[in-house]
Amino acid sequence: MSEERAFGRSFDSLEEIFEFTSGYFARAGVDPRLLPSVDFAVEELFTNMVKYGAVADPGTKVRIGIEPVKGGVQVTLTDSGVEPFDVTRAPDADVNLPIEQRRPGGLGIHLIRRLVDSWDYEYSRERRESRIRFRKTLAGTPAAGTASTMGGA
Amino acid sequence: MLAIEQGAQGVVVITGRLDAAQCPAAQSFLDRVQGTVTLDCGGLDYISSAGLGVLLKTQKRLLASGGKLRLAGVNRHLQDIFQYSGFDQIFEIEPAR
């Protein structure tokens, strides 16, 4: 079973988004051990879209779809009316800096790489639509440095 | 949802989910703590990068005045997050039993 919902471009949507992901896991019988990593990746990607997606119409919603794959789920976030930005190519944070040099921020993408099995980005110029898709399964090992990118920008 | 409150013996108890929407409340609370503080994370189910930013900001402030923030009761998922973030190098972390 696949499900998709649309969410307003606000941090206030997070509670509703987490209800959607946990509800899907329950309805589809997905192993709940995968949920924290899925929620993490969804939150980071969604809040990036809210913060940086320069949409002409702020009423445009972000669509989140979940579908089953062997041993887990594949999640797709779609943002319309935006310029291309391939978040999968963003650099890692330097997590070895001493605390005096650490600054809040920049960890979200760094952590997604390590929590999901794979991810990719596509952009449709025709629809001005960014699509980020990731996969998380029980069999997946931490994917540090192995993110795949389909490009398409 | 998130709850954060003062517990016994200088322990601050945080429960629920520390996502981007809950960070302002957590930061507001932690901005008021002083000295060496143990944050009981036994009931903290989830943290996002925004939540990590709250902890980092608090740690930097406390260290500057001779205190520190300790993280206790940390579950397996949070341990992974802290390790991948390098937070295990800048926080004293006690895993959940």
pLDDT in tens, B7-63: 988 899 999 999 999 999 999 999 999 999 999 999 999 999 999 999 999 999 999
pTM of the predicted model as reported, rounded to 2 decimal places: 0.91
In chain B, alpha helices (H): 23-30, 49-64, 76-84
- Which residues on B lie below 8 Å from A12 (Cβ)? 21
A97/B45 CB distance under 8 A: no
B-proximal residues of A, 104-123, CB under 8 Å: 104-108, 110-111, 114-115
Q: Report pLDDT for B60.
A: 96
User: Which of A18, A99, A107 minimises the CB distance to B90?
Assistant: A99
- Which residues on A lie below 8 Å from B86 (Cβ)? 95-97, 102
Could you report the predicted ipTM of this complex, rounded to two decimals? 0.92
Which chain A residue lies closest to B80 (C-alpha atoms)? Answer: A115
**Per-residue pLDDT tens listing for chain A (153 residues):** 999 999 999 999 999 999 999 999 999 999 999 999 999 999 999 999 998 876 667 788 999 999 999 999 999 999 998 999 999 999 999 999 999 899 888 899 999 999 999 999 999 999 999 999 999 999 985 543 333 433 333
Exposure letters A12-43 (e unless 16+ CB within 10 A, then b) = ebbeebbebbeebbeeeebeeebbbbbbbbbb
Q: Report pLDDT for A56.
A: 67
Q: Which two tokens stand for residue A52?
A: 């940086």
- Which residues on B lie below 8 Å from A108 (Cβ)? 48-49
